[in-house]
Amino acid sequence: MKNISIYVALFLFSINAIANVSLPSIFSDNMVLQRNSDVVIWGWGSPGEEIKLVASWNSKDTLTTTTDRHAKWKLTLKTTNTKKPVSLDFFGYNHIHLKNVLLGEVWLASGQSNMEWSASAGMIGDKKAIKNATNKNIRFFRVPKKTATTPQLDISASWQVNSPETMQYFSAIAYFFAEKLTTELDVPVGIIGSYWGGTAAEVWIPSEAFDKDATLTASATKLPQEKWGPNEPAYNYNAMIAPLIPFKIAGVLWYQGESNTPNAGSYKNTFSTLIQSWRSKWDDNFPFYYAQIAPYNYGDDNDDGVMIRNTQREVLELPNTGMVATGDVGNLEDIHPRNKKPVGERFANIALKEKYHQFSGEIYGPLVESVHAEKNKIIISFSNSERLYLKNADKQFEVAGENKEFKAVKAKIKNNKVILRSPFKNPAYVRFAWKNAIVPNLYNSADLPASSFETTID
């Protein structure tokens, strides 16, 4: 019996000797941690192992915790605003030293192919952009494409320093966002890129959301099986988002919707659920900024594309959201428009104004606010309508009666409002730029296009 006890003790000692403290891959050399925040740091070790964390900017205060019986540990680290590279040291049965760490702004860029599109894939100004990608205060964390049936704990990836070699294979839109943000704020910027071309929103939503929402479940059953990616609910979330939580982020950049055009009628519920579920998982009402899908010829027999654009406009009713206008930078015959820099910079302008309060210009195109009839005229009011103007005389406004048979009408602008002459005695509906493939002709002082819309007349 005595010998058995000795063997057990030796066995447990050997386990402790090799069960070193470890970290998920999101914590690595070259990473960016959210500045001026309480940042959660977590990892694994041997049960009962004492873990110590020392941050170079506050080396006098050692954070200490003990690994639980599930081999997990967690600490909360207070970050500062230093712009110099810092380091982190973890001590357990072993020692981990993370170097060249920056404290700055961390954003998650996600969605499908237009967010994934890189300079190496071809875009306007690609060679110049790649050559000039030398700001080492920009860092990338590229999440590999993987799926899983249940939420995963880790990702096989590491942080990379911006360079012509690394930038050209990362999201071009996210890069241009980071480039402008770090220039205007003079702080490091880290971008986590988690995207997959051709994916619908449903695959990015956690599975429990489907248990509570029959409409969401029904929309997921209509997703076609494609050769380029998954269509199973939650599969991308499980492998490409869940392992990131609760890594502290400043907000989310999202560009997606093209693959949901066949389910355009349910996209408002789907997209709203995605936003709210991510915020719930992070326990953080962070900014969620998204690009409106660009005009594209989805066919003449449907309104799927413009319905998605209109839905994205409507989702702005959710708090702390913002929408990038893309109506003027698309390609009607290419679902992957190559003019990525304006989109990235418009994302940055929204963040600079809404989150950082460092931009005074207009960030949105005209958005319909109200529509009412006065005798034989229809008067449309817009937000973001300073110096409203029409770029051409195309009849992009349409009016209909209760039968919803629309007729194109001429538009005039007076006092930054659009005035239409009704062709009907009792007009009931009005819509604008209501085609899948159309470049809007209504703009404001910032030369940003108005969003497509359809609404009733008061």
DSSP string, 197-226: TT--GGGGS-HHHHHT-HHHHHHHHTPPPB
At residue 286, the 3 state secondary structure works out as coil
Same-domain check for residues 118 and 139: yes
Strand partners, 57: none
The per-residue pLDDT for 281 is 98
Q: What is the mean pLDDT of residues 201-222?
A: 96
What does DSSP assign to residue 387?
T
Domain-located, residue 180: yes
pLDDT tens-digit series, residues 125-182: 999 999 999 999 999 999 999 999 999 999 999 999 999 999 999 999 999 999 999 9
Nearest 5°: phi and psi at 230? -75, 155
Domain-located, residue 35: yes
The CATH code of the domain that includes 30 is: 2.60.40.10
Helix (H) or strand (E) holding 183: helix 172-185
| Among candidate residues 103, 127, 158, the one where a domain is terminated | 103
Rounded CA gap, 448 and 386, in Å? Answer: 11
Rounded CA gap, 170 and 254, in Å? Answer: 15
The per-residue pLDDT for 375 is 87
Helix (H) or strand (E) holding 277: helix 267-282
- 4/165: higher pLDDT: 165
Helix (H) or strand (E) holding 381: strand 377-383
Same-domain check for residues 377 and 336: no
State the residue range of the domain holding 211.
105-354
* 117 Rama class: left (phi>0) / alpha (psi -120 to 50) / beta: beta
The CATH code of the domain that includes 266 is: 3.40.50.1110
Rounded CA gap, 377 and 53, in Å? Answer: 69
| Among candidate residues 354, 384, 415, the one where a domain is terminated | 354
Each residue of 368-403: b (16+ CB within 10 Å) or e? beebebeeeebbbebebbeebebeeeeebbbbbbee
Same-domain check for residues 121 and 75: no
Single out the residue of 41, 49, 45 nearest to residue 88, CA to CA.
41
The per-residue pLDDT for 60 is 86
Three-class secondary structure assignment of 88-126: EEEECCCEEEEEEEEEEEEEEEEECHHHHCEHHHCCCCH
Q: What is the mean pLDDT of residues 46-58?
A: 96
Q: What is the mean pLDDT of residues 332-352?
A: 97
Q: What is the mean pLDDT of residues 278-282?
A: 98
Q: At a CB cut-off of 8 Å and minimum separation 6, what does 137 contact?
A: 102, 104, 162, 182, 187, 188, 189
User: Sorting pLDDT into bands at 50, 70 and 90, what band is 10?
Assistant: very low
Same-domain check for residues 397 and 260: no
Q: Answer for the pair 302, 268: CB distance below 8 angstroms, yes or no.
A: no
Mean pLDDT for the chain? 95
Note the maximum CA span of the chain. Answer: 101
Helix (H) or strand (E) holding 11: helix 2-18
Domain-located, residue 14: no
Indicate whether 59 pLDDT > 90: no
The per-residue pLDDT for 143 is 98
Nearest 5°: phi and psi at 287? -60, 140
Same-domain check for residues 91 and 117: no
Domain-located, residue 5: no
Single out the residue of 79, 75, 74, 76 nearest to residue 37, CA to CA.
79
Q: At a CB cut-off of 8 Å and minimum separation 6, what does 280 contact?
A: none
Indicate whether 1 pLDDT > 80: no
Is the bond preceding residue 246 a cis peptide, omega within 30 degrees?
Answer: yes
Domain-located, residue 143: yes
CA distances in angstroms from 349 to 34, 104, 292, 381, 402, listed in the order given: 20, 17, 15, 24, 40
Indicate whether 8 pLDDT > 60: no
Same-domain check for residues 81 and 123: no
Provide the number of structural domains found in the chain: 3
Same-domain check for residues 139 and 60: no
List, as one string, the DSSP characters of 311-352.
Answer: HHHHGGGSTTEEEE--TTS--TT-SS-S--HHHHHHHHHHHH
Cβ neighbours around 12 below 10 Å, total: 11
Indicate whether 18 pLDDT > 80: no
Domain-located, residue 48: yes
Rounded CA gap, 205 and 275, in Å? Answer: 9
Single out the residue of 397, 392, 455 nearest to residue 422, CA to CA.
397
| Among candidate residues 103, 127, 162, the one where a domain is terminated | 103
Domain-located, residue 1: no
CA torsion sign, 19 to 24 to 30 to 32? negative
Same-domain check for residues 165 and 263: yes
CA atoms within 13 A on the CB side of 341: 11
Same-domain check for residues 97 and 122: no
pLDDT tens-digit series, residues 360-371: 999 999 999 999
Rounded CA gap, 399 and 372, in Å? Answer: 12
Domain-located, residue 64: yes
pLDDT tens-digit series, residues 397-423: 999 999 999 999 999 999 999 999 999
Same-domain check for residues 400 and 348: no
Q: Answer for the pair 46, 79: CB distance below 8 angstroms, yes or no.
A: no
Indicate whether 13 pLDDT > 50: no
Q: What is the mean pLDDT of residues 108-132?
A: 98
Q: At a CB cut-off of 8 Å and minimum separation 6, what does 61 contact?
A: 55
* Predicted structure pTM score: 0.95
Q: Kindly state the percentage of the chain with pLDDT values over 90.
A: 93
Same-domain check for residues 147 and 87: no
User: Sorting pLDDT into bands at 50, 70 and 90, what band is 16?
Assistant: very low
Single out the residue of 324, 308, 320 nearest to residue 435, CA to CA.
308
Same-domain check for residues 195 and 298: yes
